[in-house]
Amino acid sequence: MERPAWAPQSIDISMPSVSRIYDYYLGGSHNFEVDREAARKAMGFMPGLPTIMKSNRAFMRRAVRFALDEGVTQFLDIGSGIPTFGNVHEVAQRANPDAKVVYVDHDPVAVAHSRAVLEDNPRATVVNADLRRPAQLLKSPEMDLLDLDRPVALLLNFVLHFLQDRDDPYGAVAELRDALAPGSLLVLTHASHHGVPLPEETADRAVAVYEEIRNPLVMRTREQTNRFFDGFETVRPGLVSMPHWRPDSPAEEEDPYAFSGFAGVGRKA
């Protein structure tokens, strides 16, 4: 398999990557055939996966605009993936050129491509770090871009479901919450069987594809997802399907798959 110029020498291009599979769902070009094969296999059971991912991105853009309207101009996007059109820094800095964004990912392709995209942007950077180790992440020199004494919007979009319970995802979110100033926001989306227009056993076959590539995905319930908001007050309309969170257009016009999983925003008191 020929290694393209954008692929760091350190990565194993024979193994699928969650970030590159997500890039494929969104129509990106930073993925390999091995990623496309895994994506197509999952889509064989759940053909609406690209729709779900696009719904997630649309929610993210609305949540970023909401944060700016609330006076929050700093963004910490963990599990940010490979930059595609309409990413956090583009949405935020279009509305407020002074907005600052720190992206965080542990996928080398996502980090390398983010660095290239952000090379001439002094108000955005990327950290190679893992959500499972929040203390290490917070000590990264790139975090100096953000003033943690002022409110920050913490974005955890479609990343927490890749943390198993043994990874202590609730503890990781709590540690990040405690490092943030009052008025900070938690912006979150999470996979769930809730809203998926398929029998649960069929959806589980798509989930099993992620287990096969050693990135198991945890489908949490509403109650389990709501626990991530401990220490935050959820803003209206609460924890809902993605199209129902402050939509720009009638939610009824959305594809049924867009309603899969949960989305919400919380404010730290």
Q: Kindly report the CA angle at 31 between 107 and 34, in degrees rounded to 5?
A: 100
pLDDT value of position 5: 65
C-alpha 78/C-alpha 82 separation (Å) is 12
pLDDT value of position 173: 98
pLDDT value of position 52: 98
C-alpha 236/C-alpha 160 separation (Å) is 22
120 vs 14, 104, 117, 124, 133, CA distance in Å?
A: 32, 18, 8, 9, 29
Domain assignment present for residue 158? The answer is: yes
Per-residue pLDDT tens over the stretch 97-116:
999 999 999 988 889 889 98
pLDDT value of position 112: 87
Domains identified in the chain, total number: 1
Nearest 5°: phi and psi at 113?
A: -70, -35
The candidate with the shortest Cα–Cα distance to 123, out of 150, 103, 148, is: 103
Tell me which residue range forms the domain holding 241.
Answer: 52-200+218-268
pLDDT value of position 233: 98
Please answer whether residues 31 and 23 qualify as being in contact, where contact means their C-beta atoms are separated by less than 8 angstroms. yes
Domain assignment present for residue 209? The answer is: no
Instruction: Verify cis geometry, omega within 30 degrees of 0, for the bond prior to 141.
Output: no
Per-residue pLDDT tens over the stretch 54-84:
999 999 999 999 999 999 999 999 999 998 8
Domain assignment present for residue 6? The answer is: no
Domain assignment present for residue 34? The answer is: no
CATH number of the domain enclosing 70: 3.40.50.150
pLDDT value of position 10: 66
- CA dihedral in degrees (108, 100, 161, 237; nearest 10)? -160
Domain assignment present for residue 167? The answer is: yes
pTM recorded for the entire structure: 0.94
Per-residue pLDDT tens over the stretch 239-258:
999 999 999 999 989 999 99
Residue 6 pLDDT exceeds 80: no
Domain assignment present for residue 45? The answer is: no
45 vs 42, 149, 205, CA distance in Å?
A: 6, 46, 6
pLDDT band with cut points at 50, 70 and 90 for residue 127: very high
Spacing of C-alpha 143 from chain mean position: 18
Sign (positive or negative) of CA dihedral 244, 177, 184, 232: positive
Contacts for 152 with CB less than 8 Å, ≥ 6 apart: 72, 74, 75, 76, 146, 180, 181, 184, 185
pLDDT value of position 70: 98
Residue whose tokens read 């059109």? 85
Domain assignment present for residue 224? The answer is: yes
Burial degree of 18 (CB within 10 A; 0-12, 13-18, 19+): buried
